[in-house]
Amino acid sequence: MAKNFVSNSTESVRMFKSDFMEFFSRVHWTVPMITYIPVVLFFIYRSFFVAHISGLLFTGMFVAGLLSWTLFEYIMHRWIFHFVPKSKWGLRLHFIFHGVHHDYPNDMKRLVLPLSVSVPLAFGVYFALRAFMPPVYLYPFFSAFVLGYIFYDTVHYALHHFNFKGEFWKKIKKHHMLHHYQDSSKGFGVSSELWDKVLNSGFPKKK
């Protein structure tokens, strides 16, 4: 089997000449939780105390938000992160956003999205949703969507650096490791195999 990574070191190459940009290209895995859990709580608060929604509506929209995140995660990973451009600048951007992770899959500081990426993305999603969702739907939906992102980034780090004992997590980890070390054109779900199963992009089971 051909080697499709550069190194399993916990630290990768320097990406930027600028110390400032290099610093912000590395991020501790707890940063998404510290940054976005307050956002989740804020929108849950607004759901009940500003929009005054019922528990049933909150539950329905919350579940919808979580499911929507899993599809968003899949689409981003399959068609955005794995789109390989032809131009020199395009290839450089591809390496910065995702290529470096495949070359150095266990780099501890480049496993979760830096705030320079996740914050603009969060604002973009929020304002896109706000354009057609009234607050009564937006607040619970967006709180769950952001929670889905936190779960995704935390799970992604864990898959590369934690040793799981439970069969469920072992299965999820195996799925992601196959994506890295066997075939990167399959297995795009990170926190869930759901959409790989629906869209037939998972790994065939051994008979």
112-117 long-range contacts, CB within 8 A, separation 24+: 112/27, 112/29, 112/31, 112/32, 112/153, 112/154, 112/156, 112/157, 113/27, 113/32, 113/153, 114/24, 114/25, 114/26, 114/27, 115/24, 115/27, 115/31, 115/35, 116/24
Inter-helix orientation angle 135-161/115-130, to 10°: 150
pLDDT at 9: 63
How many percent of the chain have pLDDT more than 70?
A: 95
pLDDT at 50 over 50: yes
Of the chain, the end-to-end C-alpha distance in Å amounts to: 20
pLDDT at 2 over 50: no
pLDDT at 16 over 60: yes
pLDDT at 159 over 90: yes
Among 65-69, 85-89, 155-159, the range scoring the smallest mean pLDDT is 85-89
Q: How confident is the model at residue 103 (pLDDT cuts 50, 70, 90)?
A: confident
In the three-class reduction of DSSP (H, G, I as helix; E, B as strand; rest coil), residue 207 is classed as coil
pLDDT at 139 over 60: yes
Alpha-helical regions (H) of the chain: 19-24, 31-49, 55-75, 88-94, 100-103, 115-130, 135-161, 167-181, 194-198
Question: Which amino acid is located at 59 in the chain?
Answer: T
pLDDT, average across residues 181-195: 94
In whole angstroms, what is the distance from residue 64 CA to residue 62 CA?
5
pLDDT, average across residues 97-116: 89
Indicate whether this model's pTM tops 0.75: yes
Q: How confident is the model at residue 3 (pLDDT cuts 50, 70, 90)?
A: low
pLDDT, average across residues 139-145: 99
